Amino acid sequence: MAGPDTNPDVSVLAAAPALEEWHLDLRAQGARREAAVGRLHALLLRAARFEVFRRRSSLPELSAAELDELAQDAAGDAAVSVLRRLDDFRGESSFRTWAYKFALLEAAVKVRRRAWRGREVTLEPDRWASLPHNGAGPETGAEDAALLAAIREGIETALTPRQRQVLVAVVLRGVPIDVLAERLGSNRNALYKVLHDARRRLRAHVAAAGYAETR
C-alpha cells in the first residue's frame, strides 16, 4: 500500500527500466519531495553553468559572477519546466539525461537574449530588399541572378506580412527565434510554424518559376 507521501503512480513509474529512484521522490510530499527538488536544482545548475560558460564569448562584457547569475536563473526556470512536465518522462533515457536538456535549452536561450539586449531588431518587412545577399556580386551568373530574383519576388509576393517579417528576421538578419518571439510577444513554437509555412510557400513559388525546390 502506498504511504501518505507517495503518489499512486509511483509503482507504475518504477517499472520503467531507465528510471532513477530519486526521481520518484519528486512526486512525493513533504521532506522527501523537498530533498528531491534540491537535488534536481543542483543537477540543472551544473548543466546551466556548463552551457553558459561554454557560450561566454557571446557575452564578453559580463563578469564570472554575472554569468553565474544567468546560470542560476536558467536552472530555476528549467526546474519549473521539469516539474511541470514530469508526466512526459517515459524512461527511454536516464532521468538525468532527460532533465539535463531542459537546463541546456534554458541557458542557451538566456545567453542569446542577453546578447541581443539593447540591439535593434528591425521588424519592418519592406526593408528586406536592402539586405546584402551572399553570392550576389559581379561574378554571379545569369542563372543564379534569375534564381535570386525569383526568391526575392517570392518573399515580396508569396508570403503574408507575418511570414515575411519572421523569415527576414530569422533567416536574413540572423535574429535568434527566441529573441524574436520575445520582441513580438509570441513564442518559439508559433514562430517556428510561421517560418515553416513561409519556407513552404517560398519553395512552391520558386518551383513554379521553373527552378528546382531549394532547401
Give dist(CA 129, CA 168) in Å, integer. Answer: 10
pLDDT given for residue 213 in this prediction: 53
The structure's pTM equals: 0.62
In a domain, residue 4? The reply is no
Residues 50 and 139 in one domain: no
Number of structural domains (the chain) is: 2
Q: Report residue 26 CA to chain centroid gap.
A: 26
Asked if 86 and 161 sit in the same domain, the reply is no
115, 135, 165 - which closes a domain: 115
Q: DSSP letters along 45-90, please? A: HHHHHHHHHHTGGG-TTS-HHHHHHHHHHHHHHHHHHHHHTGGG--
* Residue range of the domain that includes 24: 10-115
Q: Indicate whether 182 belongs to any domain.
A: yes
Please check whether residues 66 and 131 belong to one and the same domain. no
Residues 111 and 130 in one domain: no
Classify residue 149: in a domain, yes or no: yes
pLDDT of residue 183: 85
Q: Would the CA dihedral through 191, 195, 200, 205 be positive or negative?
A: positive
Q: Is 140 domain-assigned?
A: yes
Residue 103 placed within a domain: yes
Q: What is the pLDDT along the chain (215 residues), one digit of tens a residue?
A: 334 333 333 333 333 333 457 777 888 889 989 999 999 999 999 999 999 999 999 899 999 999 999 999 999 999 999 999 998 988 888 889 999 999 999 999 999 888 888 666 666 555 555 544 444 444 446 666 777 788 888 888 889 999 998 888 888 888 888 888 888 889 989 999 999 999 999 889 888 878 765 44
pLDDT of 23 reads 78
The reply to whether 107 and 24 lie within a common domain is yes
- pLDDT computed for residue 70 by the predictor: 94
Domain match, 20 and 108 both: yes
**Cα separation of 148 and 129, whole Å?**
11
* Domain end marker among 92, 115, 138: 115
Query: Domain ends where: 115, 140, 157?
Result: 115
101 and 31 co-located in one domain: yes
Q: What is the pLDDT of residue 81?
A: 95
